[in-house]
Structure 1
Amino acid sequence: MGLQIHFVFDPQGWCCMGMIIFVWLYNTLFIPQIILFPHYEEGHTSAAPILCYYLVSLFCIVSLLRASIADPGKLPERPKIPLTEQEFWELCNKCNMMRPKRSHHCSRCGHCVRRMDHHCPWINNCVGEDNHWLFLQLCFYTQLLSSYTLILDFCHYYYFLPLKKVNWDLFVFRHELALLRISTFMGIIMLGGISGLFYTQLMGIFTDMTTIEKMSNCCEEISRPRKPWQQTFSEVFGTRWKILWFIPFRQRQPLRIPYHFANHV
């Protein structure tokens, strides 16, 4: 299944997503210029930290952009309901359309989404069945990039040898301390916020419950038997190959599991 382009026209979401992109651009442009390249030129570090930093940064922005434009699982206006699964569909009381169980109507987007977890303003999109895996990758690589940036900020002052020559841009040289303080502040804020969100998402997958289901306290969903964590993660990422769970460039192929199996097994 190819990745369908999905745009949400929401100025508030665009603003939130723009803030995330600004933080990413700031760290990607200034951290290598202030820390990595100067110390590499003087032989304090190898090229490996530079390559790793840009690789993590690339994975982070790719997962962000793909999660924001991916179709989260929007239901068509006239869905084709298999005869064997009709009893596991229900009528939405907001848009009067048939939808499979565990779907939810997003008031901000104006349509129902299969296995919707929540609407995230930071990606300006819903998090649903078809882009949940990208949202998890975004949380993971944002934590990794923020942690890496904080470590570099610390090492620049307390571990690396002092630089002997200054060949930076004049603006960067004059405002080095301020730029690093801003980077450290943004890194702490991003790491703290994303870590809590990522933990919540992981617990939801382990228990096979979405955020909306947890908030609604649905006794039927809570009392159903739990599936093994390998199965729930495989359903979210669309593959049982665990190495592919970390690759944001691939196309997700959903595991063919009927909705009644997802609800009652």
Structure 2
Amino acid sequence: MHRSGAAMAWNVFKFCTALRGLGSIMILLVLGVVGVTYYSVVLTNYGPILYDGGLHSLTAVVVLILFHCLLVMLLWSYFTVVLTDPGSVPPNWTPATDEERGEADPLNGSEFNGLRPDPSNQRIRYCRKCNQLKPPRCHHCSVCGRCVLKMDHHCVWVVNCVGALNYKYFLLFLFYTFLETSLVTLALLPHFLAFFSDEEIPGTPGTLATTFLAFVLNLAFALSVLGFLIMHISLVAANTTTIEAYEKKTTPKWPYDLGRKKNFEQVFGTDKRYWLIPAYSDEDLRRMPALQGLEYPSKPDFDSQEF
């Protein structure tokens, strides 16, 4: 039995190591799909139409403008979530208050002296692997090998954990990916249907194959991303993460659900000018602790004894 457990732990370790090794491959794959799509939409199909004049030329202008605008936002969001640390626990972090005793009875330094992992101690969350205290909503990522603030999941596509500091950027990446792939699917649909008609299709075998491939890839991504987008919209509306949604199955109450508007603002901020771009205003970062990932407001009437 002991050997079986050790083998399982070793297999999980190798799996996590393999995921870390996928980094550059996944980024290259994303850029490859973008390159195939760009070649098909801009260079093969709609770029040449610009010189034809008439209504078709006007349609091409509209498609190309929308395509490039969405592509810029997609890549901006993608590389922001890739390059932004999701949030880690500060060194020697300790909670300012005990969640059960409230702010009127703060914890003091002596309570942490000689602290050891204790499953029966529900007042203080502790990570055995990192050997440190854990802020609220923080979880350990086996792939990254550290605790991540408000961890949602580890995403191989962005080669990073999705957590408190980059969750908005991840959602915007999904949003713009869905819009871009939907636009490309609709734009290439007439060209795709032409493959099954009796008409002679202009172009070399290489360009025709690229168009066919670009349509199939973008249709597949549009459908799959739509599912993820709907799921994460529901998570934001309830102020939960993917991990917390699973944990809530055994939790009668959820203290962080403050209503859809406030839940949305805890992810996207209050400044509407920044809602659709992968950035926050300085004012929001200054006055909204939730955006820093260490403190989260809860329902004023919530009884933590029942949580």
Question: Above 0.5 in TM-score?
Answer: yes
**CA deviation profile, 1:161-218 (whole Å, cap 9, x unmatched):** xxxxx8xxxxx74423211110111012211221111111111111111101122345
Where does residue 151 of structure 2 map in the other structure?
116
**CA deviation profile, 1:211-261 (whole Å, cap 9, x unmatched):** 011223453474447322111111112x21334211125567442357352
Structure 1 residues 225 and 234: alpha-carbon distance in aligned structure 2, compared to 1, 3 A threshold: closer
The whole-number CA distance in structure 1 between the counterparts of 2:252 and 2:77 is 30
Equivalent pairs counted in the alignment come to 245
Structure 1 residues 51 and 225: alpha-carbon distance in aligned structure 2, compared to 1, 3 A threshold: closer
**CA deviation profile, 1:83-137 (whole Å, cap 9, x unmatched):** 5575975211321211211110001101111111111111010110000000000
1:41 and 2:38 correspond: no
1:186 and 2:217 correspond: yes
Where does residue 4 of structure 1 map in the other structure?
none
**CA deviation profile, 1:59-82 (whole Å, cap 9, x unmatched):** 111111110110101112322543
Structure 1 residues 250 and 234: alpha-carbon distance in aligned structure 2, compared to 1, 3 A threshold: closer
Q: Which amino acid aligns with 2:81?
A: A
Which of 165, 182, 186 is 1:151 aligned to? 186
Which of 213, 229, 246 is 2:276 aligned to? 246
1:64 and 2:74 correspond: no
Structure 1 residues 186 and 157: alpha-carbon distance in aligned structure 2, compared to 1, 3 A threshold: closer
Q: Which amino acid aligns with 1:121?
A: V
Q: Which amino acid aligns with 1:245?
A: W
Where does structure 1 lack aligned partners over 5 or more consecutive residues? 1-8, 160-165, 167-171
Structure 1 residues 56 and 12: alpha-carbon distance in aligned structure 2, compared to 1, 3 A threshold: same
Where does residue 138 of structure 1 map in the other structure?
173
CA RMSD of aligned residues (A): 2.7
Q: Is the 8 A contact 1:64 1:135 kept in 2?
A: yes
The whole-number CA distance in structure 2 between the counterparts of 1:52 and 1:188 is 17
The whole-number CA distance in structure 2 between the counterparts of 1:225 and 1:41 is 56
Structure 1 residues 223 and 234: alpha-carbon distance in aligned structure 2, compared to 1, 3 A threshold: closer
Query: What is the TM-score normalised by the length of structure 1?
Result: 0.81
- How far is the alpha carbon of 1:12 from its aligned partner? 1.8
Where does residue 23 of structure 1 map in the other structure?
33
Relative contact order, higher structure (CA 8 A, sep 6+) = 1
Q: Is the 8 A contact 2:257 2:298 kept in 1?
A: no
Where does residue 206 of structure 1 map in the other structure?
237
Where does residue 163 of structure 1 map in the other structure?
none
Query: What is the TM-score normalised by the length of structure 2?
Result: 0.71
1:230 and 2:261 correspond: yes
Query: Percent identity over the alignment?
Result: 23
